[in-house]
Amino acid sequence: MNNVVLIAGAGPVGLVLAAELRRFGVPVRVVEKEAKLAEHSRALFMWTRTLELLEPSGATAALVAEGEKLHVSNIFAGSKLIGSVDFAGIESQYPYALLLPQARTEQILTEHLAGLGVTVERGAELAGFTADANGVTATLHHPGGKSEAVRAFYLIGCDGGGSFVRKCLGLSSAASPHQSAWYLADVELRGGNFARTELNSFWHEDGFMAIFPVPGGRFRIIANAGRNAKDFTPGTPPLDKIQTILDQRGPGGVTAMNPVWTHAFQVEEYNVASYRAGRVFLAGDAAHVHNPVGAQGLNMGIHDSINLAWKLALAYRGVANRELLLDSYTIERQAVAERVVANLGRAAQAATVRNPTMQFARNLLGNIYFGLAPGRRQVAETISEVSFSYDHSPINGIEDHALPAPGPGQRVAVPAGQPPFGGGPVPRFALLADPGARVEHLRQEFAALLEPELRPTLSPRCIWLVRPDGYVAAMCLREDIGIIEDYLRGYVPTAEDLAAL
Ligand SMILES: Cc1cc2nc3c(=O)[nH]c(=O)nc-3n(C[C@H](O)[C@H](O)[C@H](O)COP(=O)(O)OP(=O)(O)OC[C@H]3O[C@@H](n4cnc5c(N)ncnc54)[C@H](O)[C@@H]3O)c2cc1C
């Protein structure tokens, strides 16, 4: 049997998944049907949590070295400022959004993957597959018409919104997909005085609009067709169309000039009910597509890859409760995508209220909410994705609300000067505890699953066990260390588990 993991699609999600698996010693092949990298950049934003999650692989440093940092998000109704959120307060080594064109992100990730010894097979298309209990047999079409049959341990469809893998599996959205229409323009702006470190969102009864910097001195305007959707035509809209939207929804006195890209496109928002069918998985846009308002799609897809990679790497080497561990990927990530859909839906509703009394009430409530530090903090932590958690995961340890946070499924912020979670050549859990005889015994018994160094505890009363992707696996009082022992024992493969590989 060929023990390779086959990844279909070398967008950002497939590239990150391939690099993480390779780093953990899993052989991968990445096939990409397009011969060349994309020219235009859809995504620009990489949020705090994404930069944290890419740090152990070493990719973050290369991305940060090239991107521009965005520190503040403003919300306006016309020229009236409703509120501002400063990302500086986020407890992270990356308290900002990184602006980097997706095409450049993909180049950097492709080079990162090449550095790990994996070359993307460009021009190679996944053309069919059948899965059984032990693996997947896939058909690849190579340039020049050559076909190849590949036997793979697992197949991951990172093949974007039109996913071939998703269609073959017959997986559909949990709720009816929602269609929306959008305009985008990368332009120079005269007037408006927009700072190059700020995102500006405009609420308007006709629809939503955002303006933010794109590297190279320009700004991107992105707006939904909203109430004017009947006039919408996909393709390349004239600059006049963008100017009309800017005049209607913006602060006034702003002129768009010298566009390098104008684009009118439709988005079908969906979230597939399950991201797994046996040996086949979906990740990124193949599993969920969000409207571009929150700039979350690429980020969410990368989080899928990070979540799946350590689980697949353990499954590849042999682990107890393999099926539960792999099922936790779809349970955890599908729930987060559902929350993002709900958040973006609420934001869109608030942005486009029509009734003047309701608009007045919304603006007043917005002023009050953004005027309070907890409100601003909640918004910053949601947009930057650091508050996402896996609260109802089947692989969470016992929850005890009397104990200090973070609890099972919640993110653990890495203090300055400490290495990120999940570094190294195999996935390992981190133990946060004061030293002691029982802790030492635990470290020796589960040395294969634990980082070699103990990390400082977050409270001397308690012990935390943190997953390779930086979320709490289990935690307990020091005297209840048996809880952590039992949790780790749940990962140790038996001879039967190893034979089932
Ligand atoms: C205008 C716009 C702006 C956006 N801005 C943001 C933003 O600021 N932040 C953000 O997080 N997200 C943003 N997004 C969303 C983001 O672009 C996507 O979520 C992201 O590209 C998804 O990555 P992916 O790797 O899952 O899919 P894709 O990037 O679509 O990559 C899938 C790849 O699979 C390949 N493929 C398809 N079928 C096959 C096959 N059968 N065999 C082999 N290869 C195949 C395709 O050629 C493609 O290269 C934006 C989207 C749009 C439209």
Find, among 73, 50, 100, 56, the residue nearest to 299 by Cα: 50
Q: What is the pLDDT of residues 433-442, one digit of tens each?
A: 999 999 999 9
Q: Of 99, 97, 12, nearest to 59 (Cα)? A: 12
Is the pLDDT confidence value at 420 over 90? yes
Nearest CA to ligand 1 atom 15: 297
Nearest CA to ligand 1 atom 35: 9
Asked if omega into 425 is within 30° of 0 (cis), the reply is no
Instruction: For residue 313, give the nearest of 299, 331, 325, 301 by alpha carbon.
Output: 325
Q: Are 429 and 474 in contact (CB under 8 A)?
A: no
Res 177 pLDDT > 80: no
For residue 285, which atom of ligand 1 is closest to its CA? 26
Of all atoms in ligand 1, which is nearest to the CA of residue 125?
42
Name beta bridge partners: 258.
none
* Helix, strand, coil % in the chain, rounded to nearest 5: 35, 25, 40
CB contact at 8 A, 243 and 142 = no
Peptide bond into 406 cis (omega under 30): yes
Q: Which tokens go with 195?
A: 């700072």
Q: Is the pLDDT of residue 393 over 80?
A: yes
Q: Tell the residue number behind the tokens 């009734």, with chain if given.
A: 355
> 284 CA distance to ligand 1 centroid (A)?
8
**Nearest alpha-carbon partner for 62 in 7, 113, 112, 17:** 112
Ligand 1 mean position, distance from CA 224 (Å) = 19
Distance, in Å, from the CA atom of 498 to the CA atom of 501, rounded to the nearest integer, reads 6
Residue 325 confidence (pLDDT): 97
Which pairing describes strands 4-8 and 28-32: parallel, antiparallel, or unpaired? parallel
36 contacts 326 by C-beta, under 8 angstroms: no
| Arithmetic mean of pLDDT, 367-386 | 92
In this structure, which residue's CA is closest to atom 2 in ligand 1?
Answer: 42
153 pLDDT higher than 90: yes
Question: Mean pLDDT of all residues in the chain?
Answer: 94
Say if residue 133 is exposed, middle or buried (CB neighbours under 10 Å; 0-12, 13-18, 19+). exposed
Q: What is the pTM of this model?
A: 0.96
Confidence at 356, pLDDT banded by 50, 70, 90: confident
Write the single-letter amino acid at 138: A
**Rounded mean pLDDT, 460-476:** 97
Q: Which residues pair with 198 in a beta bridge?
A: 72
Q: Ligand 1 pocket by C-beta < 6 Å: which residues?
A: 8-14, 31-34, 42-45, 102, 125-126, 158-160, 164, 184, 284-286, 292, 295-299, 301
What span, in angstroms and rounded, lies between the C-alpha atoms of 148 and 141? 7
CB 302 within 8 A of CB 11: no
Residue with the bigger pLDDT between 166 and 495: it is 166
Query: Sign (positive/negative) of CA torsion 189, 344, 69, 22?
Result: negative
pLDDT digits (tens, 9 = 90+) for 3-47: 899 999 999 999 999 999 999 999 999 999 999 988 777 899 999
Residues with Cβ within 8 Å of 484's Cβ and at least 6 positions away in sequence, in order, are 397, 431, 442, 463, 465, 474, 475, 476
What ligand 1 atom has the least distance to the C-alpha of 265? 53
Tell me the pLDDT tens digit for each residue of 184-215. Answer: 999 999 999 999 999 999 999 888 899 999 98
Average pLDDT in the 406-426 region? 95
Q: What's the confidence (pLDDT) of residue 101?
A: 93
Give the pLDDT band of residue 2 (cuts 50, 70, 90).
Answer: low
- Label residue 1 by pLDDT band (50, 70, 90): very low
Question: With contact defined as beta carbons under 8 Å apart, do 402 and 289 qualify?
Answer: no
pLDDT value at residue 40: 74
Distances (CA, A) of 40 to 104, 106, 231, 260, 262: 10, 11, 25, 10, 10
Average pLDDT over residues 419-448: 96
Task: Tell me the residue type at 228.
Answer: N
- Compute the CA torsion angle 75, 76, 81, 84 (nearest 10 deg): 10
Rounded CA-CA distance 435/413 in Å is 21
| Ligand 1: residue whose CA is nearest its atom 20 | 298
Taking the centre of ligand 1 as the mean of its atom positions, its distance from the CA of residue 36, in whole angstroms, is: 14
Tokens 């800017």 belong to residue:
246
Q: Comparing 222 with 346, which gets the higher pLDDT?
A: 222
Q: Whose CA is nearest to atom 29 of ligand 1?
A: 11
C-alpha of residue 160 to centroid of ligand 1, in Å: 5
Residues 6+ apart with CB under 8 A from 166: 157, 159, 272, 282, 286, 287
DSSP, collapsed to helix, strand or coil, labels residue 175 as coil
Cα 251 to Cα 258: distance, rounded to the nearest angstrom: 20
Stretch 261-289: mean pLDDT, rounded?
95
Q: List alpha helices for 352-476, DSSP H.
A: 356-371, 373-383, 437-445
- Shortest-distance Cα residue to atom 21 of ligand 1: 298
Tokens 């090239």: give the residue.
Answer: 66
Ligand 1 centroid–CA 109 distance in Å is 14
